[in-house]
A and B are shown apart, each in its own frame.
Chain A
Amino acid sequence: MIPTLGTLTLAVAAVACVAVVISSLSAARFDSRGALRAARWGLVGYAALITIASAFLVTALLQSDFRLEYVASYTERALPTGYKLAAFWAGQQGSLLLWAGMIAWMSAFAAWSRSSNRGLGEAVTLGVLAVICGFFACLLLFAANPFEVVAGAVPADGRGLNPMLQDLAMLAHPPTLFLGYAGFAVPFAAMAGALAERRTDARWLVDIRRWVLFAWLALGIGIIIGAWWAYIELGWGGYWAWDPVENASLLPWLTGTALIHSMIMQEHRGVFKRWNVALLAATFILCIFGTYITRSGIVSSVHSFGESLVGTFFFVFIIVLLIGSMGIIAWRWWLLAPQRRLASLLEREGVVLIANVVLVLMMLITLVGTMLPVITRTFMPNEITVDQSFYNRIVAPMGLALVGFMALAPALVYGQQAGRRLGRGLIVPVVAAVLVTALVIGLGVRNVWALLAAFFAALAASAVAVNFLHSLRMERAHAQVGWVSAAARLLDSNHRRWGGFVVHLGIALIVIGFAWSSLFPEKTTHQVTPGQTFDVGRYSLTFKDLEEQRRENYTAVVAVVAAVLPDGTTIDVSPERRFYDKAEESSAQVAVRSGLREDLYLILAGWEAGGKVVALQAIINPLTIWIWIGTGVLTLGSLICLAPRIGKAAGVALNGGKRHAEDITKDMRAPATNRSSADTGEREDSRTSPRRPHRPVLEPASAAMFNPADSSPTRLSTGPA
């Protein structure tokens, strides 16, 4: 039943996409509202069908229906239920179904959330979404059908899930990553619609900025969860190996990061229009390209998947997307001319432009490095690969330079005076960063990369702190409220500015974690007998015994190790080696004890003489935990950006009713005063009513906005003079 129904559902879904394409074309041609509504309903129908197909696969997985090749390949009866579910995205077909499902729901949601949009642009947007959805439906149907039936007799038990994938992070990593990939489809389609409709102002960017930020956030979290998974599961002590599959997910994140920043410039200033559409197209195509690299096995990688028809499908689709995007951008090239020119390299646009160039170069270098084996294999007698040091020597220093640009952000303003203000705003942060760096040198660190990382991270953090404190003081004086409510008002006054700076703080923490854990890990190997005590860094470890334990679907050989921490407490750090029933090899399960200062990372490397001698590899990874903490901060910051403004009512509530009514009325009058000049950037939302993001957007080139004399509000953003 399920195999037939599943395949049938996919076929109907593919037909639904064709229908949506046809109805959006006719909506575009005849300006028909009915056709547009049909296209919307069609996308929702497609999402429902993909959901039904997914439900079939979930049912088959949970019921261990081994008639399905996919179920037999990736599960077994003894697998815990959670991992049976996770097996949904363990293999090629299932993970493509997940991708398709994510895109389907995003498209359906976009179709409805934009349901007030009409006309040619919306028809094109829906049509492009339907083409993307249709590609996945056809891919599933013809090249990667998860409902394929096993050849021959139905096996009594499945082959089991890859032990490496039997980890909690596995439940979260692929869906989050795919959510990010799929999230960029909607802005991409909206771009096609806006260009078709000749809408090259910033309004369409305002429509999609939450989508872009959401996709960027999901992609970033997905990448970091993947790194964490590698850290605790692959057992080599690191979290990032510049593997092609890892690089593939990094590429769209880099262009997405550039896009988030340059979109703001277009919104405020009407510049970078061509750059933005190109970045957005590149980001989505790189998402598809990342899946292509992962799923086609074109670059031999430690993750490689089998080569198949899937690769061809993706290759053709990428070519179509490339030609289509370049065509539509070229078609509207002259409409995308900038509305004003750069006034100074030290104003926001200048710095964002240079940082964007660095981001795009990072992406290109990573792309070339990743594809080099394929390029050289095709065009040269010898295949050339690059190892990790290639990326560490090129991309890592560029990343550090970016942190330097990031540190300038709080002190940056628009306009002619920007350079001078930047200098003034940076005095205190530079002093703070120099002090921090001196302190780090005092602690004995001499590595120049570590010192640079410390300097830039401290600069970034103190620039944000100084700017926030300064604005807080102004806010407090202006509103005559307490520190806490002033802080709340300030944060709420401009979510994107302060949320963005919280993201920057998160990045600074992550960079410190990257720098220390990759520059200063201490690896030691110990051959020990039961009862023996040995020292690793500041820890005293005692190997007690080697135990065998039977668990759900594997047997674990556990080296029971007790560690005495520097503060005298004893904890259990017992690395394992697991022999899964259905796996040919054993797999290591590391023991990690994370602390704010360092991680103690223990691997059971092997044993001799029936367990009388055990080899343990110990790694002290300094500051690794700050990568994960920084990711939490980054997520918090992005959520602040995404959250709608709470507004005046909340301000009153936060204030505990201390404010007088006249203050409130004064605030309500505030929009009339010209405080929210776009020149300040950060104040543009602050004194206006909550629903007024369009004002600076529609007319970014009006003369009043970059009048150098109009500088009074700008003081707010530059820190102490």
Chain B
Amino acid sequence: MTRIRTKLIVALLIVGGAVAYLVQAGVRGGWVYSMDADAFLQRTEFHDRRVRLSGKVAWENVESNPASLMAKFDLESNDQKVPVVYRGPIPDMFRPGHDVVIEGRLDAEGVFQADVLLTKCASKYDEASPHGEGETMMEADQ
């Protein structure tokens, strides 16, 4: 009976070891610091790493071109702005004033190059629907 117990412990150790190996690989590749845009500007130690930033799409300087899968905008939080160039499919709900989450890194010119753009699709779920009516639709007007 003790032999089987030893075997069992060895088997579980192997499983545990394999999982630990996977976890450290996953942590190295998939571990992303996230912060608001203004915090990111203050913390230079994150300027050469891949990070996830959240903030609002600023009202000015938004250039969105769904046909060429590219958007330029400023990410704003607490009145501080990070210039962003995003390449990829533009989500349906991307528009000025909306909360977005982007992922990428800062380039040498100080422009944040993002390859992930997530919009919070929540306006219909939130308690209030605060956005005004009648703004232009990004995709339609160009």
Do A and B come together as binding partners? yes
| Residues of chain A at the chain B interface (Cβ within 8 Å) | 73-74, 90-92, 159, 161-162, 164-165, 235-236, 297, 300, 302-306, 308, 341-345, 350, 353-354, 357-358, 361, 365, 373, 382-394, 397-398, 401, 525, 527, 557, 577, 579, 584-588, 603, 605-608, 613-615, 617
Whether B69 lies near A587 (C-beta < 8 A) is no
Q: Per-position contact with A for B125-142: 1 when CB-CB < 8 Å, else 0?
A: 111010101010111101
Residues in A whose Cβ lies below 8 Å from that of B15: 354, 357-358, 361
What 0/1 readout, one digit per residue, does chain B (34-71) give for beta carbons within 8 Å of chain A? 11000000000000000010100000000001111100
**Number of B residues with CB within 8 Å of any CB on chain A:** 55
List 8 other contacts, CB 8 Å, given A235-B92, A398-B22: A91-B125, A341-B1, A342-B8, A345-B8, A357-B15, A383-B33, A384-B31, A586-B139
Give bound CA distance, A341 to B101, whole Å.
Answer: 52
Select which of A73, A303, A383, A525 is within 8 A of B34 by beta carbon.
A383
B62, chain A: closest CB distance, angstroms: 14
Measured CB to CB, the closest approach of chain B to A116, in angstroms, equals 40
Closest to B1 in A: A341
The interface of chain B, by Cβ under 8 A from chain A, is: 1, 4, 7-8, 11-12, 15, 18-19, 22-23, 25-27, 29-35, 52, 54, 65-69, 89-90, 92-93, 95, 101, 103, 116, 118-127, 129, 131, 133, 135, 137-140, 142
Contact B126 A527 (CB under 8 A): no
Contact A389 B137 (CB under 8 A): no
Residues from chain B with a CB closer than 8 A to the CB of A557 are: 140
> Does A344 lie within 8 Å of B4, measured CB to CB?
yes
For residue A614, which residues in chain B have a CB less than 8 angstroms away from its CB? Answer: 67
Tell whether, in the assembled complex, residue A384 and residue B95 are in contact, meaning their CB atoms are under 8 Å apart.
no
Please, which residues of chain B bring their CB within 8 A of the CB of A586? Answer: 92, 137, 139-140
Q: Which residue of A is nearest B19, CB measured?
A: A361
Question: Are A585 and B93 in touch, CB under 8 angstroms?
Answer: yes
* Least Cβ–Cβ distance between B142 and chain A, in angstroms: 6
Query: Closest 8 interchain pairs by CB?
Result: A390-B30, A606-B66, A615-B67, A162-B124, A394-B26, A393-B26, A389-B30, A306-B126
The residue in chain B whose Cβ has the minimal distance to the Cβ of A164 is B121
**Distance between B7 CB and nearest chain A CB, rounded to angstroms:** 5
Point out the residues of chain A lying under 8 angstroms from B89, CB to CB: 235-236, 603, 605, 617
- C-alpha spacing A344/B8, complex, angstroms: 9
Residues of B close to A343: CB separation below 8 A: 4
Q: What residues of chain A lie closer than 8 Å to B35, measured between beta carbons?
A: 382-383
For B127, give the chain A residue with the smallest CB separation: A306
How far is the CB of A660 from the nearest CB of chain B, in Å? 49
Across-interface contacts of A579 in B (CB, < 8 A): 137, 140
Closest A residue to B7 by beta carbon equals A345
Question: Shortest Cβ distance from B117 into chain A, in angstroms?
Answer: 11
